[in-house]
């Protein structure tokens, strides 16, 4: 009897130890999904989240800054709705990598790896769809990685992971009715005609009847069955924005970006793991300020509605939103022709917005100098930002890709360790 | 007495069984019309002697000869990446000349579209793109791609082609082949050696022993790059300032000392490009074979080595000899393959057998490559796709009339091409291109608005209705000849006539639906 008690005692201790060592090696995920808003071309940090009103007209240009609902944080005056939500997001003002070419900077920002390395790494969306996708128990009806509405184009998102981890790219325009998602929603054909067509398709499939056993054809038939399941199933309803109330659609803004944000929310509700919105038009070499006057209100409406809506639906705690371009733009304005008030590429110092999914709101990370030209405090490198997102998703930033993709290939280059360096621990919830 | 009777019965029973077994073996299957024919019309070639003797040894039956209809479609796709026009199909079927297949092969090999189609393959394995990770930049891409295209048009001997790629020096704009040394992600001697190894030997550098890797890298250790005053111009040259002799190792392990004033790349090229070098011609003939059959004699064709032996070694030896004896004439290799019975077999295996494909006992069906598929759809419908480069420096606009196979820059691409497996051209591996059909591709074909619009606004449908004056049989015949390169069978005509009459769909929409259904048909989507 006594022995048994002692045995139980040791067993309990042993189990407790095991549990401890497990919880140490595994990171508890806080976030379930990610929305990446990619400002394609590189937005000016001075004219968005790092205004420098005292740097003079040659730097600040015609814009002023406004106070937000968090004392001490100011952003561009055109971002009126975002100014009311500053307690929900944090701004990194010390993002840096020093690269001024679109393609290599885009690659670095979305993979964390320098383009000098010998492998072509996958973008963060593909990495997440590997570790959180079908291979690891994802059972959603929608693909785990969706891009609205066109592909990134500068490099291949799936890198060495290969085609299987490519995103599903919707095509079409959510601001039009119907949102003609390529291959899912077809406009202008009646139900009867659709059925007749489908019948015709099968009745003239001669090879399918003669030699259905040819391997390629067997596979083809399987794929076609699955395709029809998807076309006639739930998925097409997710993209049907006509079921949303008119005021919600208006709140997001009746433009492609605004409605893309609305679609993103609907996808997150359905459990999609990674959504990227590729938002073009930020490569403003000339007439920069005229373009900003048109773009910033649209950006402000879409993003603020997305944050508010997710928050009201209780999804913001488990959804990371990150907003960035491949770089910022030169703080010093080029007033001379042909630019006529333009800003060039600038990778040395720029800003990124992060929100939700375990990131704290109302914080500023790092700082730039008085003209926004150099990082003066707490540099944040792409690997730190991506590593933090992986961390919140429960993916160890130091982990490796499965062996089949090569031996000892880590998902990120080594991240510095310490206080206010490396991972963005200071803005993560406990 | 009784015993004998039993024995007789036993014999009879056995005889009957044997009769069935034999007849099954002999008459197991008849030809399948209209895809196959009974007897060969072309002579057996050297290639066939090697392939068929292997099949015999393994007890695999080769397939029937393919019919003229199947052949003309297949040879057009495999040589020039275009479908034959209805009239070309009719003329070919009616041609009574026994040499007609040989004649059409000769004709197609001389077309400029042959060079255009195959330049796509070369651009894949030489990794031609302007953006990440290769960063050739648009002007460099233009110069390099045109050089490759022209080399193919002139049928430049393969040894000369490779020597120019390996030993040129100068400006990336003015001496196009120097871009070979720029179309790399890294520019260290080892990453250059790795690309050379993969491209011209079909060997994975990382599988060579470490000391050979290091020794081989030395051949490329003197390559330098410098900028000029012209924007994005780069000069590739060999820096011979160092006074010391260099020691390097060939991939086969032999060492060599290179005098200080000698370009080490020349030494390497001299070793590589020799008739007796077993690696050099093996790589290219095996690649061509795999490009045509979707499967190399060594497979995959870019992972040659002792771990991956050829499946029919004698066949590979024969092709190597043919290449050397023809003075490195690549078209000669294409020609002898296309003229073989092995190539002209039916795509339907004689019987279900897993080994069929490995030993080339039938023509393997494969989905048509992304660029070619889009080209033939556009060609039928009279539509096109426009492209713009990502890089605005300056923007490159590709007009919609241009063939997709001529998109020299891997960075200029579109959703269709991406979806249907066009390679990103990052690594130069053959496996980068995927011709496997996916559920997403089928969804696109079934339900894409883009494709639907193309069919709806097709000039082909309008001309068809006008020229046939609405004669339904002529319409159906023309559609089948145009899309499937054959006449429709009687039961197909019947099905389509019913479609015209049973549904209340107007004639032009009926035609749209038929074209849509045929584009979604296996016979259209697959090379067969």
Domain ranges (residues) in chain A: 30-183+239-427, 186-236
Considering only CB atoms, B438 lies closest to which of A169, A189, A223, namely A223
Whether B472 is covered by a domain: the verdict is yes
pLDDT at B442 over 90: yes
The residue among B272, B297, B317 that closes a domain is: B272
Mean pLDDT on A217-236: 88
Read off the pLDDT of each residue in B380-397 and give the average, rounded to a whole number: 81
Tell if the CB–CB gap between B452 and A118 is shorter than 8 Å. Answer: no
Q: Mean pLDDT across chain B, nearest whole number?
A: 92
Question: Residue B481's pLDDT band (boundaries 50, 70, 90)?
Answer: very high
Residue linked to tokens 């032996």: B309
Residue A58 sits at the chain B interface (C-beta within 8 Å):
no
Cβ A182–B448 below 8 Å, yes or no? yes
- The pLDDT value recorded for residue A24 is 41
The answer as to whether B157 is a domain residue is: yes
Dmax over CA atoms of chain A, in Å, equals 93
Q: What is the pLDDT of residue B347?
A: 96
Q: Which of A7-11, A258-262, A349-353, B96-100 has the lowest mean pLDDT?
A: A7-11
Cα gap A97→A91, rounded to integer Å = 17
pLDDT the model gives residue B455: 96
Judge whether residue B28 has pLDDT over 70.
Answer: no
Which value, in Å, is the radius of gyration of the alpha carbons in chain B? Answer: 27
**Which residues of chain B are within 8 Å of residue A159 when distances are taken between CB atoms?**
426
Q: Which of A123-127, A159-163, B164-168 has the weakest average pLDDT?
A: A159-163
Cα dist. A188→A191, B448, B449 in Å?
A: 10, 12, 9
The whole-chain average pLDDT of chain A stands at 91
Give the residue from B392, B409, B422, B440 with the most A CB atoms within 10 Å of its CB, the best one to mutate. B440
- Mean pLDDT, rounded, for A150-177: 85
With cut-offs at 50, 70 and 90, classify the pLDDT of residue A9.
Answer: low
| Residue A20 reports pLDDT greater than 50 | no
A115 vs B526: CB contact, 8 Å cut-off? no
Q: Is the pLDDT of residue A14 over 70?
A: no
Residue A22 pLDDT > 50:
no
Interface of A with B in 216-255 (CB under 8 A): 216-217, 219-220, 223-224, 226-228, 230-231
**A1 burial level (CB within 10 Å; 0-12, 13-18, 19+):** exposed
Query: pLDDT grade, residue A184 (50/70/90)?
Result: confident
pLDDT tens column, B227-253? 999 888 999 999 988 778 899 999 999
Tokens found for residue B99? 């040499």
pLDDT at B393: 61
ipTM: 0.90
> What number is the average pLDDT over the span A174-203?
87
Domain hosting residue B267, numbered range: 113-272
Which of B228, B244, B272 terminates a domain? The answer is B272
- What are B470's two structure tokens? 């609405």
Please tell me the predicted confidence (pLDDT) of residue A187: 75
Label residue B395 by pLDDT band (50, 70, 90).
confident
Cα A172 to Cα A150: distance, rounded to the nearest angstrom: 8
Closest CA to B310 of B78, B51, B122: B51
The pLDDT of residue B391: 65
Q: Which residues of B230-265 are buried (b: 16+ CB within 10 A; e: fewer)?
A: eeebbbbbbeeeeeeebebbbbeeeebebeeeebbb
**B153: pLDDT strictly greater than 50:** yes
CA angle A330, A334, A339 (to 5 degrees): 115
Number of domains in chain B: 2
pLDDT of B132 above 50? yes
Give the C-alpha separation, B186 to A117, whole Å: 7
Structure tokens at A4: 């048994």
pLDDT for A194 beyond 60: yes
Which of A23-37, A245-259, A262-276, B27-41 has the weakest average pLDDT? A23-37
Interface of B with A in 84-103 (CB under 8 A): none
Q: At what angle do helices B472-484 and B490-502 cross, to 10 degrees?
A: 120
Q: Which pLDDT score is estimated for A13?
A: 63
Give the right CATH number for A30-183+239-427 from 3.40.50.1370, 3.40.720.10, 3.40.718.10, 3.40.50.300: 3.40.720.10
Token code pair at residue A148: 């609205």
Residue of A nearest to B447 (CA): A183
pLDDT in tens, B175-207: 999 999 999 888 899 999 999 999 999 999 999
Q: What is the 3-state secondary structure (H, E, C) of chain A?
A: CHHHHHHHHHHHHHHHHHHHHHHHHCCCCCCCEEEEEEECCCCCCCCCCCCCCCCCHHHHCCCCEEECCCCCCEEECCCHHHHCCCCCEEEEEEECCCCCCHHHHHHHHHHCCCCCCCCCCCCHHHHHHHHCCHHHCCCCCCCCEEEECCCCCCCCCCHHHCHHHCCEECCCCCCCCCCCCCCCCCCCCCHHHHHHHHHHHHHCCHHHHHCCCCHHHHHHHHHHHHHHHHHCCCHHHHCCHHHCCHHHHHHHCCCHHHHHHHHHHHHHHCCCCEEEEEECCCCCCCCHHHHHHHHHHHHHHHHHHHHHHHHHCCCHHHEEEEEECCCEECCCCECCCCCCCECCEECCCEEEEEECCCECCCCEECEECCCCCCEEECCECHHHHHHHHHHHCCCCCCCECCHHHCCCCECCCCCCCCCCCCCCHHHECC
- Taking an 8 Å cut-off on Cβ atoms, the answer to whether B450 and A200 are in contact is no
| Nearest CA among A61, A78, A53, A80 for reference residue A69 | A80
Taking the Cβ of residue A154 and every Cβ of chain B, the question of whether any pair is shorter than 8 Å is answered with yes
Per-residue model confidence as pLDDT tens digits over A101-136: 888 899 999 999 987 777 889 999 999 999 999 888
pLDDT of B20 reads: 53
- Tell me the mean pLDDT in the region A336-356: 94
**Omega of the bond prior to B205 within 30 degrees of 0, cis?**
no
In the prediction, which pLDDT does B67 show? 97
A18 part of contact set with chain B, CB < 8 Å: no
Residue B340 has pLDDT above 50, yes or no: yes
Flag whether pLDDT at A23 surpasses 50: no
- Whole-angstrom distance, CA of residue B172 vs CA of residue B116: 22
Q: Is position B490 within any domain? A: yes
Three-state DSSP class for B223? strand
pLDDT of residue A364: 97
Question: Nearest CA to CA, how far is B437 from chain A (Å)?
Answer: 7
A208 near B CB under 8 A: yes
Least confident of A182-191, A398-407, B62-71, B304-313: A182-191
Residue percentage of chain B with pLDDT more than 90: 80
The region of weakest confidence among A183-187, A373-377, A410-414, B435-439 is A183-187
Is B390 close to A103, i.e. CB distance below 8 A? yes
Pick the last residue of a domain from B220, B242, B272: B272
Count of A–B CB contacts within 8 Å?
159
């Amino acid at each position: 009897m006594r022995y048994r008690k002692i045995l139980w005692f040791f067993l309990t201790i042993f189990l407790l130890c095991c549990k401890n060592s497990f919880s140490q090696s595994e990171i508890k995920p806080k976030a379930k999904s990610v929305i990446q808003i990619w400002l394609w071309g590189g937005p000016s940090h001075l004219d968005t989240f790092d205004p420098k009103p005292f740097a003079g007209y040659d730097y600040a240009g015609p814009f002023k800054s406004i106070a937000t609902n968090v004392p001490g944080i100011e952003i561009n005056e055109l971002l009126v709705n975002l100014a009311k939500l500053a307690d929900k997001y944090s701004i990194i003002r010390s993002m840096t990598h020093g690269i001024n070419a679109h393609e290599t900077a885009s690659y670095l920002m979305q993979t964390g790896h320098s383009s000098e390395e010998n492998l072509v790494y996958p973008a963060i969306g593909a990495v997440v769809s590997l570790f959180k996708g079908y291979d690891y128990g994802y059972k959603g009806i929608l693909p785990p990685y969706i891009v609205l509405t066109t592909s990134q184009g500068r490099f291949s998102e799936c890198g060495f992971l290969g085609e299987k981890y490519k995103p599903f790219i919707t095509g079409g325009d959510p601001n039009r009715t119907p949102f003609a998602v390529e291959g899912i929603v077809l406009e202008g054909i009646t139900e009867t005609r659709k059925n007749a067509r489908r019948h015709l398709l099968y009745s003239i499939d001669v090879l399918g009847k003669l030699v259905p056993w040819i391997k390629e054809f067997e596979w083809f038939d399987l794929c076609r069955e699955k395709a029809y399941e998807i076309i006639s199933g739930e998925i097409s309803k997710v993209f049907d924005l006509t079921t949303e109330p008119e005021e919600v659609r208006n709140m997001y803004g009746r433009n492609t970006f605004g409605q893309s944000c609305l679609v993103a929310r609907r996808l997150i509700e359905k459990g999609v793991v990674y959504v990227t919105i590729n938002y073009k038009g930020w490569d403003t070499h000339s007439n920069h300020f005229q373009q900003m006057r048109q773009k910033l209100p649209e950006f402000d409406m879409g993003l603020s509605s997305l944050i508010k809506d997710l928050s009201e639906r209780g999804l913001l705690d488990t959804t990371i939103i990150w907003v960035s371009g491949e770089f910022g733009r030169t703080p010093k304005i080029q007033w001379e022709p042909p630019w006529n008030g333009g800003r060039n590429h600038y990778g040395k110092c720029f800003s990124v917005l992060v929100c939700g999914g375990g990131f704290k709101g109302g914080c500023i990370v790092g700082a730039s100098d008085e003209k926004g030209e150099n990082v003066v405090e707490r540099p944040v490198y792409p690997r730190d930002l991506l590593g933090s997102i992986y961390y919140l998703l429960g993916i160890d930033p130091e982990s490796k890709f499965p062996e089949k993709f090569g031996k000892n290939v880590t998902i990120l280059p080594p991240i510095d360790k310490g206080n206010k360096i490396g991972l963005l621990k200071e803005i993560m919830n406990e | 007495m009784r015993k004998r009777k039993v024995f007789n019965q036993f014999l009879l029973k056995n005889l009957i069984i044997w009769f069935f077994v034999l007849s099954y073996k002999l008459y197991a299957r008849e030809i399948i019309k209209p895809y196959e024919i009974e007897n060969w019309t072309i002579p057996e070639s050297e290639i066939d002697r090697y392939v068929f003797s292997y099949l015999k040894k393994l007890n695999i039956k080769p397939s029937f000869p393919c019919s003229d209809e199947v052949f003309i479609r297949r040879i057009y796709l495999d040589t020039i990446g275009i479908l034959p026009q209805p009239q070309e199909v009719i003329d070919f079927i009616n041609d009574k000349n026994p040499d007609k297949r040989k004649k059409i092969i000769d004709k197609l090999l001389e077309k400029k579209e042959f060079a255009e189609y195959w330049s796509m393959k070369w651009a894949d394995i030489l990794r031609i793109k302007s953006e990440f990770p290769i960063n050739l930049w648009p002007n460099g891409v233009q110069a390099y791609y045109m050089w490759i295209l022209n080399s193919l048009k002139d049928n430049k001997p393969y040894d000369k082609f490779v020597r120019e790629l390996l030993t040129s020096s100068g400006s990336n704009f003015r001496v196009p082949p120097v871009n070979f040394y720029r179309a790399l992600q890294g520019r260290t001697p080892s990453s250059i050696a790795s690309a050379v190894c993969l491209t011209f030997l079909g060997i994975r550098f990382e599988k060579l022993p470490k000391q050979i890797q290091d020794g081989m890298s030395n051949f490329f250790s003197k390559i330098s790059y410098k900028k000029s005053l012209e924007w994005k111009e780069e000069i590739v040259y060999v820096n011979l300032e160092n006074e010391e002799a260099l020691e390097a190792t060939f991939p086969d392990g032999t060492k060599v000392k290179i005098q200080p004033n000698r370009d080490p790349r020349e030494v390497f090229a001299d070793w590589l490009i020799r008739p007796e070098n077993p690696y050099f011609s093996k790589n290219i003939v095996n690649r061509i074979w795999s490009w045509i059959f979707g499967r190399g004699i060594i497979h995959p064709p870019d992972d040659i080595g002792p771990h991956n032996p050829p499946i029919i070694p004698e066949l590979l030896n024969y092709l190597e000899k043919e290449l050397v004896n023809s003075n490195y004439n690549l078209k000669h290799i294409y020609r002898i393959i296309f003229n073989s019975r092995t190539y002209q077999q039916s795509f339907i295996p004689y019987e279900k057998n897993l080994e069929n494909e490995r030993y080339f006992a039938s023509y393997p069906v494969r989905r048509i490559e992304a660029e070619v598929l889009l080209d033939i759809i556009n060609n039928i419908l009279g539509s096109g796709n426009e492209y713009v480069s990502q890089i605005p420096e300056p923007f490159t606009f590709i007009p919609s009339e241009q063939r997709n196979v001529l998109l020299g820059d891997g960075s200029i691409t579109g959703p269709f091409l991406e979806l249907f497996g066009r390679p990103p051209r990052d690594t130069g591996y053959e496996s980068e291109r995927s011709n496997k059909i996916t559920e997403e591709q089928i969804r696109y074909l079934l339900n894409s608005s883009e494709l639907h619009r193309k069919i709806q606004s097709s000039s082909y449908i309008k001309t068809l209705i006008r020229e046939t004056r609405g004669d339904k049989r002529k319409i159906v015949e023309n559609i089948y000849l145009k899309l499937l390169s054959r006449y429709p069978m009687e039961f197909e005509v019947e099905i389509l006539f019913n479609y015209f009459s049973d549904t209340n769909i107007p004639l032009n929409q009926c035609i749209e639906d038929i074209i849509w259904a045929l584009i979604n048909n296996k016979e259209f989507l697959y090379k067969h």
